[in-house]
A and B are shown apart, each in its own frame.
Chain A
């Protein structure tokens, strides 16, 4: 049963059929999935959703597939955690972490988009899938693509974190390390996609793939008891996630699952790669591309595909934007781990650091509800913490040695 009417150009509104197309032939605007919301409204009630298994497909009417979902059947529905210790530390009343660092199967929000992209690619009849990735997408496409028995070509910048390379290679895809930054990888991939007829999930499957990110927003609303928070802090790389989270909660409102939206959406980037945040701070609609230089490699996109829409989302919701330095990112990773027991990757350090900044600056009032997006797992970016978190206390296997060393340590403290 399909609720998708077709594709529609986001800029000029031209209509296209449900095919692996991603760009308007006339104005080059991005194509978006066009749903039949009237029919969805009749089918997708709160009771219906609650009766379904706890994965991202519980919202399948709002996802762009025609047949039953085939991939990522255990992805999504990650915990929404009340962050009581951070709440106390920051003096705020209601703070939550939406924790995709434990998403199945590869510990990042990318499992959501890949679940949708692969289900759709198979509907189109593709047998080879591909992507350009800063790491998390590579891990996810490699894992879910393997489970789906698809051939996989994965393109990454050559200087990626070791854990993200290992976490891709283990599934035995064709892994291509391109000598250049992500923007160079992405440009190359769009030329390869032009020539080889593969399902490039973030190029020709992009209109479908990107819809998977909405489920992150759907879950926040459902897990809060069918309401949305006053603030959501979202990490920005290509700018798609922030746009889709907002689209998701607006769809929930449109089909009557939540009553109102008074959510401010805030954009978070690393200072060394902040084209979206810069545009918002300068009150500009123009994204100035730049060469990234940050430890937050998963966010290191200097030329964000959905940058202008990310800016528009923040403006429309009356949100703010902030960036944090590499040092602040590391401090924030440690803060989240040591306050809440959640080990996030550098991108999570960005959202925690930015949230702290926005609260300190008074952009986020302390008595309002806040959800911080944690989209990836710290085990994947351990290099960033080298030399920053101390060392184990090394002892001999004797009680004497244990007590000597602990006493000595106490004296040091």
Chain B
């Protein structure tokens, strides 16, 4: 039961220089919960992916099985065992900002 995650160079310091990591998919429903879990496995990484308000940073794009989550259901894009996720700097993979109201990753329990 796992989700494969490709980590961009700027974040690899937080994954012990690993470009690819596996996350236990147990109990992960969607992207929002995935980021929370990734942050637990690799302390510090959630703060880099999300801004102070808990939103995915404007210069980060996330892809599930090669599709941009902005063409899916943003942070509510559902995940299942065996999915692969890419985190890509927007400036490289083509990019833009997300509608601020649409993507909120404020997680229960606060910051």
Q: Which positions in A face B, CB cutoff 8 Å?
A: 11, 22-30, 182-184, 186-187, 189-191, 193-195, 203, 206, 238, 275, 285-289, 291, 301-308
Is B63 at the interface (CB under 8 A from chain A)? yes
Q: A25 — which chain B residues lie within 8 A by C-beta?
A: 10, 13
Q: Which residue of A lies closest to B71 (CB)?
A: A289
Q: State the CA gap A358–B49 with chains docked (Å).
A: 41
Contact A206 B91 (CB under 8 A): yes
Contact B91 A30 (CB under 8 A): yes
Is B79 at the interface (CB under 8 A from chain A)? no
Q: Which residue of B lies closest to A306 (CB)?
A: B91
CB contact under 8 A between A28 and B97, given known A190-B89, A194-B6 = no
Q: State the CA gap A269–B49 with chains docked (Å).
A: 31
Contact B96 A287 (CB under 8 A): yes
Contact A305 B6 (CB under 8 A): no
Q: Which residue of A lies closest to B9 (CB)?
A: A194
Q: A286 — which chain B residues lie within 8 A by C-beta?
A: 96-100
Residue of A22, A28, A184 with most partner-chain B CB within 10 A = A28
CB-contact partner of A23 in B59, B66, B86, B100, under 8 A? B59
Report A79 CB to chain B, min CB distance, Å. 32
Contact B91 A305 (CB under 8 A): yes
CB-contact partner of A289 in B57, B59, B86, B96, under 8 A? B96
Q: State the CA gap A30–B63 with chains docked (Å).
A: 20
Report B16 CB to chain A, min CB distance, Å. 16
Is B53 at the interface (CB under 8 A from chain A)? no
Majority SS of interface residues in chain B? mixed
Contact A303 B96 (CB under 8 A): yes
Is B30 at the interface (CB under 8 A from chain A)? no
22 A-B pairs within 8 Å (CB atoms) are namely A23-B59, A23-B91, A27-B57, A28-B10, A29-B91, A183-B68, A184-B66, A186-B93, A187-B88, A190-B93, A194-B8, A275-B96, A285-B97, A286-B96, A286-B100, A287-B97, A289-B96, A303-B93, A303-B96, A304-B94, A305-B93, A305-B95
Contact A23 B89 (CB under 8 A): yes
Is B60 at the interface (CB under 8 A from chain A)? yes
Is B19 at the interface (CB under 8 A from chain A)? yes
Q: Which residue of A lies closest to B86 (CB)?
A: A191
Report B45 CB to chain A, min CB distance, Å. 12
Q: Mark B58-83, 1 if CB is under 8 A from A, else 0.
A: 11110100101011000000000000
Q: State the CA gap A114–B90 with chains docked (Å).
A: 21
